[in-house]
Structure 1
Amino acid sequence: MTQPEKPQDLIFVESLVNLGLAMGVLITVEGVETEAHIALLREMKINYLQGYAIARPMEAEAVADFVRSFVLGVGDADTPMLALYQHLGWVRAAAESVMNHEDYEHTELAACPITTWLHAHASELPEVETSLAEHETVHILGREILQVRQSGTREELHRLLGQLHGHSHRFQEGLGQAVKDMRDNAAVAKAQPPPSENTH
């Protein structure tokens, strides 16, 4: 498994996982190589993980001791894809509430994992204010859907749903590009030689 870099990657992985869960099959993800992988896949309720993040190849006689002592960690939760996955959970719930005429539990902006992640990495993210504003708009629309569910019309709900999908898509695209730029900038900075010190 390669770490999902774009929201589309995350949606693709999630779709495969949901297909397996719907069919009632046990899911094993191979190539789990980072703590970020573990955090995301645990959130997706994957049954089995395999990869270097779990263990490196070992001699047969070492397996018994490894199994007795192994404890799977929670993984590194400081990843935008994990936060985005959690964020998209309530966005989907809002959309389903419109289609199924049911209420849903709205996640407030301050409690959304993406809010925490964006603020934690604000100094590294290009155009972070744009991402924050688009993210806030998505939450405002989610709250409006909940309110209109109480007293509004079906036409109003579908109008809000269209806006929710549009802003959510723009936010995901913008976040994906911002994270890519952030990582590219970090790689360039790491590759640059340290400044030389003039000694006289």
Structure 2
Amino acid sequence: MAQPDKPQDLIFVESLVNLGLAMGVLITVEGVETEAHIALLREMKINYLQGYAIARPLEAEAVADFVRSFVLGVGDADTPMLALYQHLGWVRAAAESVMNHEGYEHTELAACPITTWLHAHASELPEVETLLAEHETVHILGREILQVRQSGTREELHRLLGQLHGHSHRFQEGLGQAVKDMRDNAAVAKAQPPPSENTH
């Protein structure tokens, strides 16, 4: 299963899943160890999972009771991980186009899944306007790299690439902190008892 610090793992999983689905093959993902893994795979429409998030190895006589009582964890339904990985995919493509002197297909801002996710959760996210602006800057720089690839100099490309990496890193850090704050706020709200009704 994908590790959070290795986005290429998720791209590999997603590629295999898409291949299997296109072939009509039943997909089972192994190595599912956390609720975040469950949520991510649910976003990818995977229904068959195996790993410690489901169960540790069981003695044969315990299997029947496990099957009768097991309930799959809900995972984190609000994770932006898959959208972020897809966003980072074209950021990597832009960077590689500078290093390998090749063109690439730019994902427009409106079509980026992170745009959809940010707007869907805008009311819950602190600093959402800052996040939206930083995200847009990353896309603008990606488009500039594509344009400069046609007639610009190597120095211009490397300057833009440095800016792209800087803004992309700031966006990822800001998004991570905002999502953490959003979930902390939701947990606090859930833990608070509902207001008592005034009976006077």
- Which deviations, in whole Å up to 9, do the C-alpha atoms of 1:136-163 show, x marking residues without a partner? 0000000000000001000000000000
Q: 1:178 to 1:70 in 2, by over 3 A?
A: closer
- Which deviations, in whole Å up to 9, do the C-alpha atoms of 1:58-117 show, x marking residues without a partner? 896999999999999999885211110010000000000000000001000000000000
**Cα deviation, residue 121, structure 1:** 0.2
2:87/2:112 contact within 8 Å kept: yes
- Give the alignment's TM-score, normalised by structure 2: 0.71
Deviates more, 1:60-69 or 1:92-101: 60-69
Distance 2:183 2:3 in 1: 13
Any runs of at least 4 consecutive aligned residues in structure 1 with deviations exceeding 6 A, and if so which? 5-29, 42-48, 52-77
Q: 1:126 to 1:6 in 2, by over 3 A?
A: farther
Distance 1:195 1:6 in 2: 44
Q: 1:74 to 1:190 in 2, by over 3 A?
A: closer
Structure 2: gaps of 5 or more residues: none
Equivalent residue runs for 1:80-91 within 5 Å? 80-91=80-91
Q: 1:128 to 1:198 in 2, by over 3 A?
A: same
1:5/1:176 contact within 8 Å kept: no
Distance 2:185 2:9 in 1: 21
Aligned CA-pair RMSD: 6.7
- Equivalent position of 2:66 in the other structure: 66
Distance 1:117 1:41 in 2: 17
Q: 1:113 to 1:59 in 2, by over 3 A?
A: same
Deviates more, 1:111-120 or 1:29-38: 29-38
Q: Which secondary structure state, in structure 2, belongs to the residue aligned with residue 95 of structure 1?
A: helix
Distance 1:173 1:16 in 2: 29
Deviates more, 1:103-112 or 1:20-29: 20-29
Q: How many residues align?
A: 200
**Cα deviation, residue 50, structure 1:** 1.4
Q: 1:176 to 1:75 in 2, by over 3 A?
A: closer
Deviates more, 1:55-64 or 1:167-176: 55-64
Q: 1:42 to 1:145 in 2, by over 3 A?
A: farther
2:2/2:10 contact within 8 Å kept: no
Q: 1:9 to 1:100 in 2, by over 3 A?
A: closer
Distance 1:172 1:166 in 2: 10
Q: Which secondary structure state, in structure 1, belongs to the residue aligned with residue 83 of structure 2?
A: helix
- Equivalent position of 2:111 in the other structure: 111
Q: 1:64 to 1:144 in 2, by over 3 A?
A: farther
1:125/1:178 contact within 8 Å kept: yes
Q: 1:17 to 1:39 in 2, by over 3 A?
A: same
1:83/1:117 contact within 8 Å kept: yes
- Give the alignment's TM-score, normalised by structure 1: 0.71
Q: Does 1:94 align with 2:94?
A: yes
1:10/1:81 contact within 8 Å kept: no
**Cα deviation, residue 51, structure 1:** 3.1
- Which deviations, in whole Å up to 9, do the C-alpha atoms of 1:24-83 show, x marking residues without a partner? 999997552678525645899999951377689889699999999999999988521111
Could you tell me the percent identity over the aligned residues? 98
**Which structure has the higher relative contact order (CA within 8 Å, separation 6+)?**
1
